Amino acid sequence: MDRAQDALDLIDANLQSKYMERENFQDWKYEHLFYRGESLTRLAKCTEALGAFDAAHAIHADGKFETDILIARSNCLMALERYEEAFDAATRVAASANGELATLALQYMAECRMWQRRVPEALAIYLELQRKLPSKYVDEKRIQTGINRAIASLEKHSTQRKPC
């Protein structure tokens, strides 16, 4: 955590520089805002992180960090229990061409659906995700645990509905 705070302090000092307001420094400002959001995410300051990501997006809506921003947004939104927004951000990544981050996005999508108690949808996403493993960003054990929980939840609900 100390490293994230140190990084945030340096980034904030740079962002306060008068140079960042110059037109020819907007690319640098975009990068700094992205890194600010990343640091804030590591410090579990998700609301502030979302603000930094929004500010970066306002500078370059399709900037080089857009996919990373969407993944980080999804993560922050899940932490804030804003699951539908988190799912939407992850869906945009899953539809992109970046294979590894798209796989991570599927994990986030499945977890959002589990938190929303939309278990059949979550299980379908988990099974799709399982076919894409291994992935450097996704822990296979975590996915198997999610699948097992989804199946157990479905079994529990199906036995509760059976007449005696």
DSSP letter (8 states) at residue 135: B
**What pLDDT sits at residue 162?**
56
Per-residue pLDDT of the chain (164 residues), as tens digits, is: 689 888 998 888 888 887 777 787 888 889 999 999 999 999 999 999 999 999 999 998 888 999 999 999 999 999 999 999 999 999 999 998 668 899 999 999 999 999 999 999 999 999 999 999 999 999 999 999 999 999 999 998 777 655 55
Q: Give me the pLDDT at residue 90, please.
A: 97
Residues whose CB falls within 8 Å of the CB of residue 162, separated by 6 or more in sequence, listed in order = none
Write the DSSP string, 138-159.
Answer: B-HHHHHHHHHHHHHHHHHHHH
Closest CA to 69 of 107, 24, 101, 29: 101
The reported pLDDT for the residue numbered 1 is 62
| pTM assigned to the model | 0.86
pLDDT at residue 49 in the model: 97
Helices then strands (H, E): number in the chain?
8, 0
